[in-house]
Amino acid sequence: MDDALVRTLTPAVIGILVRRGADFAAAEDAVQDALVEAVRTWPDDPPRDPKGWLVAVAWRRFLDAVRSESSRRRREELVDAEPEPGPGEDVDDTLQLYFLCAHPSLTPSSAVALTLRAVGGLTTRQIAEAYLVPEATMAQRISRAKRTVSGVRFTRPGDVATVLRVLYLVFNEGYSGDVDLAAEAIRLTRQLAAVAKHEEVDGLLALMLLHHARRPARTRADGSLVPLAEQDRRLWDTGLITEGVHVLQAALARDRPGQFQAQAAIAALHADAQTADETDWVQIVEWYDELLRFTDNPVVRLNRAVAVGEADGARAGLAALAELDPGLPRYTAASAYLHERAGDRATAARLYAKAARAASNLRECEHLTRQAARLNAQLR
């Protein structure tokens, strides 16, 4: 059975059932039952119309559930209105399903889990392994999320920005278990871009592609982190870079800028440089200024301060950094880097060691510790 095809069809089939009158939770359950049946029967007897087959089987499963509890008139009417099995409808409900799974009433973690289940077609076990939680815990999270959105009916367009934030959360989780969440986020964003026709969707897709292109160069054989300036750029995926730049240019040409387009432009400038020394830091600072128009985020200001240090000198970067809250994540690491660039290795070594103690993950801690050790060795 073609798993990729099934995962692509899943949101469309759920959408069809919801449009016919099923609530979201019941529709999702029915589609999951149909997928189990597909796993059992398709290898020996593949259908000519996979989507139509899934719709027909899922609808029957839904009606069976309705009949077992049919005490309400609306459910009886749904049974009486059962359509004849046939080809799947051509109407694409994928966009509405994205909006439903990223509904504002859901927590970010629940929205991510529901998106991966209903839109991504992943199993509860796969999602649980990707997030390193027990399957039972993830099942409860998904069940609660389904109950929350089951009564939602859309009377106005959903919020694309909320959907994009959910997809970006998925992308940033990266990889664990047997599901590459970065690749899955790219697949889902491609799917969204095909139906949404929105500049910021394209901006997010470009950003993901450009970041993902650098993935092979981000770690050494021992798993340690490789900073951007030290990465072997021959390992970067030029195909993904070319596609990302093309998607970004098309979005920017429509002259409706947004934060994801600005972030993608910064990533594109890094990707365009053959070496770290050739990076156009002046233009990167300009794009950070543009990004701040859309989101006055302290982390963006922190990254801008580092870019200013590259464009105008370390002292200018430290001055920009001094305007920010020292409690920001990675503030100390950025200060250490800029102090080293300014020639103050003793202060930089002390700050690298301090940043290592506050690091949020082991890889980052090890990287910062090595930086401190390197500078301390030079000072002896």
Q: Do the beta carbons of residue 320 and residue 305 sit within 8 Å?
A: yes
How large is the average pLDDT for residues 29-55? 89
Q: Which two tokens stand for residue 174?
A: 């990266």
At 85 the pLDDT is 47
Is the Cα dihedral 309, 294, 191, 7 positive or negative? Answer: positive
> Lowest mean pLDDT: which of 90-104, 160-174, 211-225?
90-104
At 86 the pLDDT is 46
Inter-CA distances, 205 with 21, 118, 208, Å: 33, 20, 5
At 334 the pLDDT is 97
Q: Do the beta carbons of residue 372 and residue 345 sit within 8 Å?
A: no
At 328 the pLDDT is 92
At 99 the pLDDT is 86
How large is the average pLDDT for residues 315-334? 96
pLDDT digits (tens, 9 = 90+) for 73-93: 554 555 555 554 444 444 456
- The phi and psi torsions of 313 (rounded to 5 degrees) equal 110, 150
pLDDT digits (tens, 9 = 90+) for 292-314: 999 989 999 999 999 999 999 99
Question: Confidence class of residue 129 from pLDDT cuts 50, 70 and 90?
Answer: confident
pLDDT digits (tens, 9 = 90+) for 187-242: 889 989 988 889 999 999 999 999 999 999 999 998 889 999 999 999 999 999 99
How large is the average pLDDT for residues 52-64? 91
CATH number of 206-379: 1.25.40.10
The chain-wide mean pLDDT, for the chain, equals 88
Q: Please, where in the chain does CATH 1.25.40.10 lie?
A: 206-379
How large is the average pLDDT for residues 92-109? 82
CA distance 97 to 64: 23
pLDDT at residue 32 tops 80: yes
In the chain, what percentage of residues exceed pLDDT 90? 53
At 123 the pLDDT is 84
Q: Residue 225 has what DSSP assignment?
A: B
At 279 the pLDDT is 97
Other beta carbons within 10 angstroms of residue 296's beta carbon come to 9
Question: Confidence class of residue 155 from pLDDT cuts 50, 70 and 90?
Answer: low
At 131 the pLDDT is 80
How large is the average pLDDT for residues 263-285? 97
The residue among 277, 279, 332, 278 whose CA lies nearest residue 305 is: 332
At 292 the pLDDT is 96
Q: What is the pTM of this model?
A: 0.81
At 89 the pLDDT is 47
